[in-house]
């Protein structure tokens, strides 16, 4: 999954790099959606703009830590494996941009026109960003609905959850 997402992410970004010059926009649905060629040296919503090298290091560290601690995630099921692969593939895709291009290539831009002629827009994003968000949300959901792996012991004399209670032996006769 991670490799497939990385390839899809890089193919879509390569298409944008071939089709649009940096900063160029192409309206797809007037008043709603544009393909753009924008760069982001920061993180989500351009936070930490200008820290491309530091964020590349953070992405490498994140990949290593996520892989090392993968057993803490719901990766035992197919949805968990797909979600975890999406997160890893997305991080790797944006990391590759940072190392290869010097910024993350963002190209999907949704917006609404404002009465003053400007736009209300959601920050531009890419396939890798989508994979990270959907993967993380799915992992949270899977973790939330998973059965606890360990249960605390029932109180003395209390039956275990839904377990049949053993028969009580007869009391000894009074002397």
**Prediction pTM value:** 0.78
DSSP 23-62: T-EEEEETTTEEEEEEEESSSGGGTTTT-HHHHHHHHHHH
Active site residue 106: yes
**C-alpha–C-alpha distance, residues 81 and 61, integer Å:** 20
For residue 146, the model assigns a pLDDT of 75
Helix (H) or strand (E) segment spanning residue 120: strand 119-121
pLDDT score of 45:
73
Q: Which of 53, 129, 161, 174 is catalytic?
A: 129
pLDDT at 92: 97
What pLDDT does residue 171 have?
A: 66
Rounded to whole angstroms, the Cα distance separating 43 from 63 reads 16
Lateral strand order in the sheet of 33-40:
25-29, 33-40, 104-113, 119-121
Q: Are strands 33-40 and 104-113 parallel, antiparallel or unpaired?
A: antiparallel
Q: Is the dihedral of CA 14, 15, 18, 24 positive or negative?
A: negative
Residues of the chain with pLDDT under 50: 151
* Residue 129 falls in the annotated catalytic set: yes
Please report the pLDDT score of residue 165 as a whole number.
Answer: 61
Beta strands at 119-121 and 33-40: parallel, antiparallel or unpaired: unpaired
The DSSP secondary structure of 63-116, one letter per residue, reads HHHHHHTGGGSSTTSHHHHHHHHHHHHHHHHHHHHHHHTSSEEEEEEEEEE-TT
Which member of 9, 53, 106, 116 is catalytic? 106
**pLDDT of 50:** 87
Look at residue 77 in the predicted model and tell me its pLDDT.
Answer: 87
Nearest to 80, CA basis, from 66, 91, 94: 66
- Please give the pLDDT value at position 155: 56
Q: What integer pLDDT is reported at residue 169 of this predicted model?
A: 66
What pLDDT is attached to residue 149? 58
Please tell me the distance from the alpha carbon of residue 127 to that of residue 134, in angstroms, as a whole number.
Answer: 11
């Amino acid at each position: 999954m991670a490799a497939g997402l990385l390839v899809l992410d890089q193919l879509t970004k390569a298409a944008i790099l071939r089709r649009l010059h940096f900063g160029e926009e192409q309206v797809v649905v007037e008043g709603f959606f544009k393909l753009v060629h924008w760069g982001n040296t920061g993180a989500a919503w351009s936070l930490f703009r200008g820290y491309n090298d530091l964020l590349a290091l953070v992405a490498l560290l994140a990949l290593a830590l996520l892989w090392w601690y993968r057993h803490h995630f719901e990766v035992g099921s197919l949805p968990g494996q797909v979600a975890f692969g999406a997160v890893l593939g997305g991080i790797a895709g944006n990391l590759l941009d940072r190392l290869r291009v010097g910024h993350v290539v963002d190209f999907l831009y949704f917006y609404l026109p404002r009465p003053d002629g400007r736009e209300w827009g959601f920050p531009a994003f890419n396939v890798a960003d989508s994979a990270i968000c959907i993967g993380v949300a799915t992992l949270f959901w899977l973790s939330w609905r998973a059965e606890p792996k360990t249960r605390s012991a029932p109180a003395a004399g209390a039956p275990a959850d839904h377990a049949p209670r053993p028969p009580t032996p007869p009391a000894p006769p009074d002397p």
